[in-house]
Amino acid sequence: MITGEIKSRIDRIWDTMWSGGISNPLSVIEQLTYLLFIKRLDELHTLKERKAARLGKPLESPIFAPGQEHLRWSRFKETAPEQMFAVVRDEVFPFIKGLGRNGSDGNGSTYSRHMKDAIFMMPAPRVLANVVDQLDAIDMADADTKGDLYEYMLGKIATAGQNGQFRTPRHIIKMMVDMTAPTPRDIICDPACGTAGFLIAASEYLLHSHGDEIYKDAESRRRFNESTFHGYDFDATMLRIGSMNMLLHGVENPDIRYRDSLAQSDEDDAEKYTLVLANPPFAGSLDYESTAKDLQRIVKTKKTELLFLALFLRLLQSGGRAAVIVPDGVLFGSSNAHKGLRKLLVEEQRLDGVISMPSGVFKPYAGVSTAILFFTKTNSGGTENVWFYDMQNDGYSLDDKRAPLQESDIPDIIARWRNREAETERKRTEKSFMVPKSEIEANGYDFSINRYKEVTYQAVEYDPPKVILERLAALEAEIAEGRRELEGLLG
């Protein structure tokens, strides 16, 4: 978790930019992202230099060509504010916008396409120099620190919960990725990718678990960099941040595109993906006219949470799987659309699991209760038993502070998920258990865990009413005596 010291430093940087005239919180985040990106490029180039020196070989694929040394963070940070401002504005910024411009397809990389509209907004040399000095003092060698910085900065957007501009907690993303266990053959999609947190976590899992297979030849590397990761969003700033984030995490040319996933129907994407990982925004209701007609054919509704589930089913290949976060209302909503979609997941597809999460998981952004649905697209049913888990502790306090705790249910969740076939004999009083399809059907396809979990009650014995009344009478007599004494003292 991000420390109080780093929070204080980010607060000071935020205040510096705010007082300098950048008042839009998302613009602050975007400008800071550019600077963090520039800093990271220098770090990556330094690592390449050290590797080349260690091996006694020429520098391989340098980021900065000869003559561009002055564009490196470690160089321009030492210059005077006016000179730094001119170099960053006139040379460094055009340099990062041009990265990947000469793509193999002639159109450049995803990153370069999103960066072409990026604007350098630092208002004055003094502001830039101040922010550079403060960022330079933050140790970001740990990848988790970078993620925490994003999470903390996005948390400073006052309307985060309304606009959906906040990150899914990284430990929840990692849990979902670990449970779906991507392979190098997967084609992974997040149709509401934002800063690309799910795609980055999936790439890290693949590199850690299947690195040898990914790097075995040029074709495997090309597939990983260009064909594995796909994301949509309709916020251009999020697309720029997401593409920079992916590039920094070693994915050179992911397919991250501008799209309103619910309003556009693209037949090229139908049944294209083998894994969907998502926490889409739940903005309420949409107009029928603005919603893709093929999604309305799956579920007739204006509710975005149901439309996204219909979208996931359309995007997945047969045999493809999904792990998606939904608001609790999806589990037990009584409308025809709610019931119809839940029935479809059970009867026509294969519902694999439901994790009920505590309401504080998304604090401080929102206190809404959520769940994770795991399902496989089969188009022929296959649901036999559904695995339920009642998460009570995600490893952090459930208040706005979200302080780390010693205990967490997540390791138990992952272990039991991987061996869930052995869960059929678990008692309903436990945190996890299996529910047969017939019981879910009998309960109107209700997915809420409270419908199936058994609660044990402990008998509490109380004193007989006569004894309680005698005790009350004694207390009243004591109060009356005290009042008389007080009246005597007052004369």
Together in a domain, 305 and 223: yes
pLDDT above 70: percentage of residues in the chain: 89
pLDDT for the residue 391: 97
In terms of phi and psi (left: phi > 0; alpha: psi -120 to 50; beta: otherwise), the region of 89 is alpha
Q: Are 300 and 412 found together in one domain?
A: yes
Task: Determine phi and psi for 471, rounding to 5 degrees.
Answer: -65, -40
The reported pTM is 0.80
Q: What are phi and psi of 334, to 5 degrees?
A: -100, 0
Q: Identify the pLDDT of residue 29.
A: 82
What average pLDDT does this structure show over 168-184? Answer: 95
Question: Is residue 37, in this structure, part of any structural domain at all?
Answer: yes
Mean pLDDT of 86-110: 73
Which residue range forms the structural domain that includes residue 221? Answer: 166-451
Residue 304 has pLDDT above 90, yes or no: no
For the stretch 449-482, what's the b/e string if a residue is b when 16 or more beta carbons lie within 10 angstroms of its beta carbon?
beebbeeeeeeeeeeeeeeeeeeeeeeeeeeeee
Do 490 and 440 lie in one domain? The reply is no
**For residue range 405-447, what is the model confidence (pLDDT) as tens digits?**
999 999 999 999 999 999 999 999 999 999 999 999 999 999 9
The verdict on residue 315 lying in a domain is yes
Say yes or no to pLDDT of 108 above 60: no
- Top pLDDT among 327 and 164 is at 327
Does the pLDDT value for residue 284 go beyond 70? Answer: no
Q: For residues 281 and 322, is the Cβ–Cβ distance under 8 A?
A: no
Please check whether residues 82 and 126 belong to one and the same domain.
yes
User: Among 74-78, 309-313, 458-462, where is mean pLDDT lowest?
Assistant: 458-462
Give per-residue pLDDT as tens, 70-84.
Answer: 999 999 999 999 999
CATH number, domain of 190, equals: 3.40.50.150
User: What is the predicted pLDDT for the residue at 180?
Assistant: 98
Residues 82 and 177 in one domain: no
Q: How many domains does the chain have?
A: 3
Within a domain: 155: no
Give the three-state DSSP class for 276. strand
Residue 107, pLDDT > 60, answer no
Residue 298 confidence (pLDDT): 81
Confidence category of residue 151, pLDDT binned at 50, 70, 90:
low
pLDDT reported for residue 161: 43
The predicted structure's pLDDT at residue 443 = 96
User: What pLDDT sits at residue 128?
Assistant: 95
Task: Choose between 98 and 457: higher pLDDT.
Answer: 98
| Whether pLDDT at 19 is above 50 | yes
Which pair of structure tokens corresponds to residue 412? 């138990």
Q: Are 253 and 337 in a shared domain?
A: yes
Residue 484 CA to residue 488 CA, distance in Å, equals 6
Q: In whole numbers, what is the pLDDT of the chain averaged over residues? A: 87
How far apart CA 83 and CA 85 sit, in angstroms, is 5
Does residue 187 sit within a domain?
yes
Query: What pLDDT digit, counting tens, does each position of 259-280 carry?
Result: 887 876 666 788 999 999 999 8
Same domain, 229 and 345: yes
Q: Which residues does 140 contact at the CB level (< 8 Å), separation at least 6?
A: 36, 39, 40, 146, 149
Question: Quick one: 116 and 189 in the same domain?
Answer: no
pLDDT surpasses 50 at 104: no
Quick check: is 456 in a domain?
no
Indicate left, alpha or beta for 106 from its phi (over 0: left) and psi (-120 to 50: alpha).
left
Note the pLDDT of residue 159: 42
Residues 412 and 361 reside in one and the same domain: yes
pLDDT at 168: 84
Q: What is the pLDDT, as a whole number, of residue 145?
A: 63
Indicate whether 160 belongs to any domain: no
Q: What pLDDT does 290 receive?
A: 63
Residues 38 and 137 occupy one common structural domain: yes
Return the CATH number at 12: 1.20.1260
Q: Are residues 295 and 192 in the same domain?
A: yes
Picking from 400, 394, 354, 399, the residue whose alpha carbon sits closest to that of residue 374 is 354
Comparing 113 with 204, the larger pLDDT belongs to 204
Is 313 domain-assigned?
yes
In percent, the amount of the chain with pLDDT more than 90 equals 52
| Segment 87-102 mean pLDDT | 84
Are residues 240 and 172 part of one domain? Answer: yes
User: Which pLDDT tens digit goes with each residue over 205-242?
Assistant: 999 999 999 989 989 999 999 999 999 988 887 888 78
Higher pLDDT, 380 or 360: 380
Residue 152 domain-assigned (yes or no): no
Report whether pLDDT(36) > 90. Answer: no
Last residue of a domain, one of 111, 146, 181: 146
